[in-house]
Structure 1
Amino acid sequence: MLNVFDIVKLTKIDHKEVDSNQVVVTDGNGKPNAILTALLNDVVSNMRIFIDMGEVYAVDDLLRELSEHTPLPNDVLEEYEKVLREPIYGINFVPKRGQVEVVVGEG
């Protein structure tokens, strides 16, 4: 099963990597999850600033790179890991808003 990291790694909008404001985490009914969305947006922001995603192929790689290249404490990296490993049940593209909704949990 794919996880949130896989979607962030693979998804492009207009041939560019997704920005933090372009990814929204929802449940199976389409209801946004504000906590997971905020956490994922933080992860994506730090990835875009500090990491070359062309060199990262797994959650463990990303966490190691963030640990080496940012001052983020271990508890923050642990929270990042939780959201990145979250299994996904679907993806919904919202072209009008330039967003990708990552569906975690079944409806």
Structure 2
Amino acid sequence: MLNVFDIVKLTKIDHQEIDSNQVVVTDGNGKPNAVLTELLNDVVSNMRLFVNMAEIYSVDDLLLALSTHTPLPSDVLDEYEKVLREPIYDINFVPKRGQVEVVVGEG
């Protein structure tokens, strides 16, 4: 099963890595999960600033790169790991908003 990291790694919009405002975490009914969305947006922002994703192949690689290149404390990295390892059940592209909805719970 794919996880949130896989979607962040593989998804491109107009041939560019997704930006933090382009990904939304929802449940199986389409209801946005504000906490996970905010956490994932933070991960993506830091990832885009400090990490070359072409050199990253796993959650462990990303967390190591972030711990090396940022002053983020271990508790923040632990929260990043939780959202990145969250299994996904579906993905929905919303072209009008330029967003990707990552569904992390069954409907």
TM-score by length of 2: 1.00
Paired residue secondary structure (1:91):
strand
The alignment covers a number of residue pairs equal to 107
CA RMSD of aligned residues (A): 0.2
Q: Distance in 2 between matches of 1:14 and 1:29?
A: 27
Ranges of 4+ aligned residues in structure 1 off by more than 6 Å: none
Query: Unpaired runs of 5+ in structure 2?
Result: none
Instruction: Write out per-residue CA displacement over residues 19-59 of structure 1, whole angstroms, 9 at most, x where no aligned residue.
Output: 00000000000000000000000000000000000000000
Partner of 2:41: 41
The correspondence of residues 21-32 of structure 1 with structure 2, limited to 5 A, is 21-32=21-32
Offset from partner CA, 1:63-94 (integer Å, 9 cap, x none):
00000000000000000000000000000000
In the alignment, the residues of structure 2 paired with residue 42 and residue 77 of structure 1 have an alpha-carbon distance, to the nearest angstrom, of: 11
Q: Percent identity?
A: 85
1:55 partnered with 2:55: yes
Query: For residues 36 and 59 of structure 1, what CA distance do their matches in structure 2 show?
Result: 16
- What letter is aligned with 2:75? D
1 CA distance for matches of 2:57 and 2:72?
Answer: 20
Q: Secondary structure at the match of 2:2?
A: coil
**Secondary structure of 1:79's partner?**
helix
Counterparts of 2:82 and 2:45, CA distance in 1: 16
- Aligned-partner Cα distance in 1 for 2:66–2:17: 18
SS of alignment partner, residue 106 of structure 2: coil
Cα separation, 2, equivalents of 1:74 and 1:16? 29
Unaligned runs of 5+ in 1: none
Secondary structure of the residue aligned to 2:91 is strand
| Residue aligned with 2:101, SS | strand
